[in-house]
Chains A and B, each alone.
Chain A
């Protein structure tokens, strides 16, 4: 007798979906990038732990760059606006992106921020992400490069503890080098740790207090500055 297979109610089926869970964000990130490219704008995603010195570094960079190129800042912060006011006192366009306790910026929030400023005349947008060394890694914003700020006051293990954040970054700033001796942190070991993960990362040793490395970062983020300078 020929075997017969009959579907029964409650029979189990498998369906293949291959549906990316991060695609919704990635799609908006690509649209952001297209918009930025059309306007000739370079956007940099600035990431780092709470207290690593992101806001101070951005303020120093704005001071250095604002007379040469058009700079704007998107300041991601869970709730408060005091960082935004600090940067706005530099007289450049600033948008605060309040994530209301969200732990990372996403491309949709950046899309909304891009609609809040006049993109004409802007060359560089520094996007300060939420102070967090884990979550932002999975959520590209549409920036051209990603910069991670670590400071020696966070101790000697930041790179070893948060490798994923560095794998996706192009520039790493090792900040507060003026405090390295007091903290007993070996800056060169941090540099080696970063390069163990990804040799092509451009590492800058910096201090917002002494000014070490700030011109180097400014030149890296806005290479067109040199030609306008000349």
Chain B
């Protein structure tokens, strides 16, 4: 349940923002979560609801933007979407680090994001 510690970090950060800016009310917190993380959006939303109870964030919404994976291959120079593993047992195809161009190992340069993108607040 690393989602719980991530949700707690979100709340800590946003409460710090509320305090430093004297913000009236938080409407929505928007996160960017990369395809290569194993952060489960539904679990994260549930944890967020639980940890914001009885805080100034209680009625705020948590929006999660999925950031697609992108890879670069040091062997053949390919840049772009990863190759997907279609017959894994996950609900959706799994992004791999096998280069779609040459089949060697590629490096992920996008998809590991786990960040607060924007905070929407009422003055």
Interface of A with B (CB < 8 Å)?
7, 9-22, 24, 103-104, 134-135, 137-139, 157, 160-161, 163-165, 167, 195-200
Contacts and interface: CB of A to CB of B under 8 A. Distances in A.
Given A17-B17, A160-B87, 15 more contacts: A9-B123, A12-B121, A13-B121, A14-B120, A15-B121, A134-B38, A138-B38, A163-B88, A164-B36, A164-B37, A167-B108, A195-B98, A196-B85, A197-B96, A200-B104
Name, among B88, B118, B119, the residue most crowded by chain A CB atoms within 10 Å (CB to CB).
B88
A198 B96 CA distance: 6
A138 B9 contact: no
B114 to A, nearest CB: 5
B96 A12 contact: no
B15 interface: no
B30 to A, nearest CB: 8
A209 B121 CA distance: 60
A208 to B, nearest CB: 27
Name, among B27, B31, B36, B96, the residue most crowded by chain A CB atoms within 10 Å (CB to CB).
B96
A103 B90 CA distance: 22
B104 A199 contact: yes
Secondary structure at the A interface, as helix, strand, loop or mixed, is mixed
Secondary structure at the B interface, as helix, strand, loop or mixed, is mixed
A198 B117 contact: no
B120 A197 contact: no
B102 to A, nearest CB: 10
A17 B14 CA distance: 10
A11 B105 CA distance: 49
Contact of B10 (A12, A15, A21, A134): A21
Interface in B94-123: 94, 96-98, 103-105, 108, 113-123
